[in-house]
Structures are given as structure tokens and as C-alpha cells.
Amino acid sequence: MNHDADPRHLLVRALGEQSPLYVPETEIHPDVPDFTCNVRGDDPALGVPEDLVRSLASWAMSRPAAGFASRPELRKHVKEGREKAQLLAAHLGPAWVVRYWDEQHESAKFVCWGCRRLHWTLGAHGDPPHPLHVIVQGEYRWYPLRAEGFEDFAPDDPAAALGLSDSLVDDLYKWSADVDANMDLYLQEREEDEREARKEELERRGEALAARVVQEVGPGRTVTYRGVW
């Protein structure tokens, strides 16, 4: 996926059609797009997983009838749509600008692909908004993750918004601490064979952790493993 190209715009809104996804007819005015073109959830350009496609379609077709929906019904439908828009934005990543139409308040907000929060403005997070290219690396007294604009950072740093599971966060912290411990052995001039054996074990753990990071951050980001230094 080319993260350097201008992102495309997408609106999630239930209008009674099979798909609640809309794109502008033209990209002439991307800052104020006219979302009039309905696109299928299974459009290859989106690459949306089948279960999310079905979930979006079900939500779109269950839209309460205008003028007859009770407030609880409408609130529930809006909440469900927001959650699906958040999943969609996380899947599409920075290649798409996703907005969600809140039927209850008649407003559209930007859905952040990284932290999944809704914002009134596109640049609410500043620059860089979230790391796109994540590096997993073990280095003495450094956090286990790197990214341009972030240097080293903790796996549960809210600014990075990786959304990693608690178990993976714990394992990354433990791996980083063990990298430090192995370097301490070197500084203490302990047996070289012992240090090398521990380093090989740390390398294997680092590769496995990087693979888990790939699975959890989704297709919107890339992950590189650079070993133990």
C-alpha cells in the first residue's frame, strides 16, 4: 500500500442501501467532498474482510425509519455504526480518510484509523499523527519500538495508538528488560558463551514478537524487525 499518495475519502452513512459506504463523484474538492457515489463493501479497492462487509450491510439495512425511530433505537443504531466505522478505518489505514455520519446529531466526524477516536478536524493529532512504519528492535536502555518522528517508544504509548493487546505489551516490555539484562552480563565481563546463547534466544523471541505486532496493528502499517543490538 502506498502511504505517500493522497488519501481517498469515504463516508459511512446508513441511507437504506445495501452498502453504507460512499465516495465523492470527483476528487476536485477533496476538502469538502460530495459523497454521492455508493460503493459496495466488497469492492476490491477497499479490501474489506467479508465479516465486516456483512456487518456493515446488516447495519445499513437495519436503519430505523425516519420519523418513527425512538431515541433509544436511534442511539443504539448510531453507536453500532460508529463502532463499525472505527473497525473500517483501522482496516483501511492512512490510505483513506473515513468519516462517520451521526444520524442522531446530523453531523459527520473524521474517524482516526490509529486511535479510532472521532475528531472534528482531519489533523487533530498533528504531524506525524501515528507511526506508519514500526521497527521492533532490542537495544540497551531503549524501548523496544521505533518509528520516524517518535524515536523509541513504549508499546502502550497512547500517542502511537498501536492498540496492542495487553499480553503483547507485557511480552515486549519483558523482552526489552531481558535485552538490558544481557547487556549487563557483557558489562560484567561474564562468560561469552553464556551471553551469546542468551542473545540468540533474545533474537528468536524478538522475531516472534515482531510477527505478533504485524498481526495486531493491521494492514495500515508496516513492521520491520531489526534484531538485538
Q: What is the pLDDT of residues 172-194, one digit of tens each?
A: 999 999 999 888 877 776 667 77
Q: Is the CA virtual torsion 156, 138, 133, 151 positive or negative?
A: positive
- Classify residue 34 as exposed, middle or buried by CB count within 10 Å of its CB (0-12, 13-18, 19+): middle
pLDDT of 3 over the 60 cut:
no
Cβ(109)–Cβ(118) below 8 Å: yes
**Amino acid (one-letter) located at 182:** N
pLDDT digits (tens, 9 = 90+) for 57-113: 999 999 887 665 577 888 899 999 999 999 999 889 888 999 999 888 888 999 988
28-32, 86-90, 121-125, 216-220: lowest mean pLDDT where?
A: 28-32
The pLDDT of residue 220:
76
The pLDDT of residue 157:
87
The SS3 assignment for 41 reads: coil
pTM as predicted: 0.67
The pLDDT of residue 2:
46
The pLDDT of residue 221:
87
Cβ(97)–Cβ(122) below 8 Å: yes
pLDDT averaged over every residue in the chain: 86
The pLDDT of residue 125:
65
pLDDT of 28 over the 80 cut:
no
Alpha carbons 46 and 185: distance in angstroms, whole number:
50
Q: How confident is the model at residue 124 (pLDDT cuts 50, 70, 90)?
A: low
Domain ranges, ordered by start, for the chain: 8-119, 133-228
The pLDDT of residue 51:
95
